[in-house]
Structure 1
């Protein structure tokens, strides 16, 4: 298949493009700074820059994947929050503009989203059937992101909203930062330790994307999380077990808030999310348990 990926140079995007090209697909990465070197099954196309006209460079695309958006990591100033929102909405708007101009429309759009759309809770369990929240910056941003992508779905294109949890990998995302204190013998409970972590191994994140590409019955929201979420205390203890390090120096909530500001929401709050639709559709997780995932990534 011919697959366009916006955000193909990010953490998930790099892994995805490597997996797809290894599988014999031709990947077209939409980028503001396209690489000069091309490969047999990998092409780079300029987009979201003056003079960029991706619609004239792309062939007939089978799958459109939009992972583009400014990283959530970093202190959330008002300027940063505006950039986070606008980068997501503009990537959808530009995707819609290009797709409308293509003679042959993609068969499916896979639109990145996040489990933050449900809001945070210590005692609720969320599935794809749960209501969308509007209580905090992350839930409002994610809801607006999905709503904007609805204009592409309205073109009659099967659309999957991939609601990612915390994607665990060796070379990106939150895991290297979370594991570093344990490597330095300084790991411990973060905040209350009772907040839920809806995690997923990068290989399963890629597997769910490819499943959504292939399964024509899948549409709407998909929770890209492992079937066994854990609380932060258990997450830290599992890192300690795998790394053979102590779990002993707690980091109090006030200290995290002082350093991260509003972004501390990502660390101190959470949600217990289950991949109901994925399980019903028969996806077999490579890493359903956290310990096995961390042994693969940290040992």
Structure 2
């Protein structure tokens, strides 16, 4: 199978590339800065630059995975928020242009999104059947991102909207969450009662591969563990595995001051459940938080 992927040089993209190549697929990674590789089943294709013409380099593509977009980590200024939003819109529109150019359309598109589309809640649980929200920047961004994906779906392509939770791995949010414990300053963030909808990066990559292979999977899919936890449980699990104290509370107002709007990812929370993945028969490797964190924190020096 020929798989085209945007965002392939990122955290999740690198894991996905490994999954796809081990399965024998050829991965075409679209990048502003393509590089040479000795791996025969990986090809880098330049895109989103003035002299790029990816439509001339891509063969027939069986599946597209669109993960491109500026990282959400860091303080959100107005300029940053505009870049986060426009990077997702522009890349998705370019994917549509490239698909439209091809005579033979792909069988499936995996369009990245986020569980932030449901908004935040301390009491509700959200599945793919739940109504979405447009109450804050994250939910608005996810709405706009999915709307652009719907324009590709309208070409007659099976489309999966991968609504990612907080992804745990050697990069991304986990190192930032572990750092206070390394400094013996870890503790409950905010009230501690807010929900964290998390997923191990290995399960996230496997679920995307599963969605590509199973024609019955379409529409929104919550890419989260079936076992979300409250933030205080998450912190205590880190403390236990790292053999560090869990004692220094981090007040909500401090995070809001330090991170601005981005703090809502941590201090508000939501309980998103992967109903569709479970119904379709996907099997998680890291459904248990303790097992997932043990794998990441004990076996990887990067975290």
Q: Which TM-score band applies after superposition, normalised by the shorter structure?
A: over 0.9
Aligned to 2:128: 128
TM-score (norm 2): 0.97
1:148 matched residue in structure 2:
148
Give the CA deviation at 1:245: 1.0
Q: CA deviation at 1:37?
A: 3.2
Matches within 5 A, 1:249-288: 249-288=248-287
Q: Are the counterparts in 1 of residues 121 and 268 from structure 2 also a CA contact under 8 Å?
A: yes
Where does residue 55 of structure 1 map in the other structure? 55
1:235 equivalent in structure 2: 234
1:14 Cα deviation (Å)?
Answer: 0.9
Deviations 1:154-184 (A, max 9, x none): 00000000000011102x1101111111122
Residue 158 of structure 2 corresponds to which residue in structure 1?
A: 158
Q: Distance in 1 between matches of 2:144 and 2:38?
A: 35
Aligned residues: 298
- State how far apart, in whole Å, the 1-side matches of 2:31 and 2:18 are: 16
Q: Distance in 2 between matches of 1:104 and 1:52?
A: 21
Per-residue CA deviations over 1:111-137 (Å, capped at 9, x if unaligned) read 010000000000000000001101111
Q: Any stretches of 5+ residues in structure 1 without a counterpart?
A: none
* CA–CA distance in structure 2, aligned partners of residues 85 and 119 of structure 1: 17
Deviation for aligned residue 1:207: 1.0
> What root-mean-square deviation, in Å, do the aligned CA atoms of Structure 1 and Structure 2 show?
0.8
> What are the ranges of 5 or more consecutive residues in structure 2 without an aligned counterpart?
299-303
Distance 1:99 1:52 in 2: 16
- Segments of 4+ in structure 1 off by > 2 A? 36-39
The C-alpha deviation readout for 1:208-231, integer Å capped at 9, x for no partner, is 101101000110000000000001
Q: Secondary structure at the match of 1:75?
A: coil
Partner residue, 2:16? 16
SS at match of 2:44: strand
Counterpart-to-counterpart distance in 2, 1:18 and 1:283: 19
- Secondary structure of the equivalent of 1:222? strand
Q: Which residue of 2 aligns with 1:223?
A: 222
Partners in 2 of 1:233 and 1:25 — Cα distance? 41
CA contact (8 A) 1:92 1:148 kept: yes
Q: Which shifted more, 260-269 or 93-102?
A: 260-269
Q: Is the 8 A contact 1:38 1:44 kept in 2?
A: no
